[in-house]
Structure 1
């Protein structure tokens, strides 16, 4: 399976200036190539090379490999845009957002990521340095650092391209690694149901409730501070706002990684599979009052589901997505369905048999039962091999098993 391992570069001021000039030139060239592709209607790699390859090399002084990657990056961006349009991710045809995406060529940020292959970038793992191509020539001895486990993964399994990117004043390399998977467990004796929520991030069917109070308080604090800084609108407030960029998302990502690791480890230890709800399209289906919209929109259930899926594949644990309809209203003991069963956000009390339990734990037990029923009827693991990576965005492919279980291909991250 493919994983992306991120390492931080530690360039000297001279090396950083050369890297910045290279990124700026590559993205400027990609924006020009995008305009040609949009004007001529040619958005396939080899066909677009005939119109742009020579000009890109001569005008921006790029090497042969860099010029090809610039053209390929542009084609991948248009392929991602096409997939998003087909999936309805950019609203309906004719809407303002749809028109903005389709009526003008794609533009690349001056410091957008640039792909490098092994002809343009070489790794010296023992010295923790890389040799990287720039407009000023081959630049050697650029130091990098990462956590020990990431360095070990990089040394053993690195294969394919790496992306050079600049973010928040720091330089990074995202390296692709081909990591072997464990043998899949084709005969789990049960499933571990996981109910995903906003108040409680994840609730296993037989484990602890992983509350999200700290995360939600942090999100509220960051949202309040952002609004305060935006109202102030002074140079110092803008600097502070820029410094705090992505702090909330980094915290949420770290928590999701820890939860996913715990869930997968428990399922692997007990020889069970993992059952998740298929929450596709929930933001479009649910209507909320204005005070609840920001909290609901910042709910990162999709990211947590992706982390669980790829960690499960790496451990050989099967994952099944089930229909979430009425899991919060159904009694896990007698199967009685009633809206009145859900007494409050936290508690469930069956009106038929009198069974009382925490509402999220009751829901996770229903998810477990549905996954077990699907598996016994012939469903397979719904965490398949991910599709080829597309630059300029992430794509998600979906399929359906014979028994109706939904499949989602996760984007992969090392963690």
Structure 2
């Protein structure tokens, strides 16, 4: 499996200035290449490189290999855009979001991440330093640091590209590691996980991970941002910059804790993990105005990603199942009706009378669908 390991760079002030100038030069070049690709319609790597390679080297001060990585970066950006359009993630053809995405070239921020390959960036694992190409020349001996687990994974499994990332005044390297997949065991049963806004995750065992504290934290952060923006002073702007991404890091940390515990329980009990397939839910649902901010900040996708990769690393089976009517279906008699769920928290079947917490019932339905799906997946196809 592919895993991204993040380590922190510790450059001197001169090295940091050179790294910042390098990012700006690469992203100016990427803007130029993006305009050429948009105007000519040439978006394959070989064709685009023939058009812009000489100009990128001459006009932006890039050497050969960084120029190649800039072209690849632009090609990947247009490939990601094409995939999003094909999957309908930017709305239907003709919608305002669709027109906005296709009517102008892809843009790159001045401090957007820049990929480097082994010709542009080399690692000295024993010394914990890197050597990296910059517009000021090759910078050698830049130290980096990280947790013991990150450094071990980096030393044993690093492969492919490394991204240089700037966040405020801090610098990071995001390295791709290719970790061998462990053998997935045959599950004795499944643990269904229902994801939600009020309860971030509820398992078929009845374990509930509430989102109340996260919602309160988000509201508190929103009030603080509004207060600082209203002041509109230089010190308020500096405080806003320091607070940026704090809410996102808090939600990510919470998702890591939840997913780690769920995977640990599944591994200990020999069960698999099943979740609902919620792709595209924001495009399918039209919430009320007062619910839009809550839904747009709901970190369900990240929780699903954490569960998937942690389960893969632990050799735990992982399935995504059809989410249709999981909160309205009775797991005992199969009766499905909207009236079965009278309110957000309670479920009561109108046919057989089964009652219980609505999120737990949804988790049980997810578990039952995973049992059926796993039998179908593992049954050999007759030839």
TM bucket (normalised to shorter chain) is: over 0.9
- Find the counterpart in structure 2 of residue 242 from structure 1: 241
C-alpha separation in 2, matches of 1:27 and 1:154: 27
Contact 1:229 1:238 in 2 (8 A): yes
Q: Deviations over 1:282-315 (max 9, x none)?
A: 2233333222221122111111111111111222
C-alpha separation in 2, matches of 1:293 and 1:323: 24
Give 1:356 deviation, angstroms. 2.8
C-alpha separation in 2, matches of 1:319 and 1:277: 11
How many residue pairs match? The answer is 381
- Find the counterpart in structure 1 of residue 319 from structure 2: 320
- Find the counterpart in structure 1 of residue 274 from structure 2: 275
C-alpha separation in 2, matches of 1:208 and 1:322: 20
- Find the counterpart in structure 2 of residue 257 from structure 1: 256
Q: Higher helix fraction: Structure 1 or Structure 2? A: 2
1:188 alignment partner, SS class: coil
Q: Deviations over 1:337-390 (max 9, x none)?
A: 3333324322223333333322211111111011101222x1269xxxxxxxxx
Give 1:207 deviation, angstroms. 4.5
Label 1:106 to 1:288 Cα distance change in 2 as closer, same or farther (>3 A). Answer: closer
Give 1:90 deviation, angstroms. 2.1
**Could you tell me the TM-score, scaled by structure 2's length?**
0.94
Give 1:255 deviation, angstroms. 0.8
Contact 1:201 1:211 in 2 (8 A): yes
- Find the counterpart in structure 1 of residue 307 from structure 2: 308
C-alpha separation in 2, matches of 1:360 and 1:286: 19
Residue 106, structure 1, aligned to residue 106, structure 2: yes
Moved more, 130-139 or 280-289: 280-289
- Unmatched 5+ residue regions in structure 1? 382-401, 403-415
Label 1:101 to 1:274 Cα distance change in 2 as closer, same or farther (>3 A). Answer: same
Give 1:98 deviation, angstroms. 2.4
Contact 1:320 1:380 in 2 (8 A): no
1:177 alignment partner, SS class: strand
**Cα RMSD between the aligned structures?**
1.9
- Find the counterpart in structure 1 of residue 93 from structure 2: 93
Contact 1:6 1:146 in 2 (8 A): yes
- Find the counterpart in structure 1 of residue 377 from structure 2: 379
Residue 346, structure 1, aligned to residue 381, structure 2: no
C-alpha separation in 1, matches of 2:342 and 2:40: 61
1:379 alignment partner, SS class: helix
C-alpha separation in 2, matches of 1:338 and 1:34: 51
2:361 alignment partner, SS class: helix
Give 1:93 deviation, angstroms. 2.6
Contact 1:5 1:176 in 2 (8 A): yes
Q: Deviations over 1:224-269 (max 9, x none)?
A: 2223333333333322222211111111111111111111121122
- Find the counterpart in structure 1 of residue 83 from structure 2: 83
- Find the counterpart in structure 2 of residue 39 from structure 1: 39
2:9 alignment partner, SS class: strand
**Could you tell me the TM-score, scaled by structure 1's length?**
0.87
Label 1:264 to 1:380 Cα distance change in 2 as closer, same or farther (>3 A). Answer: farther
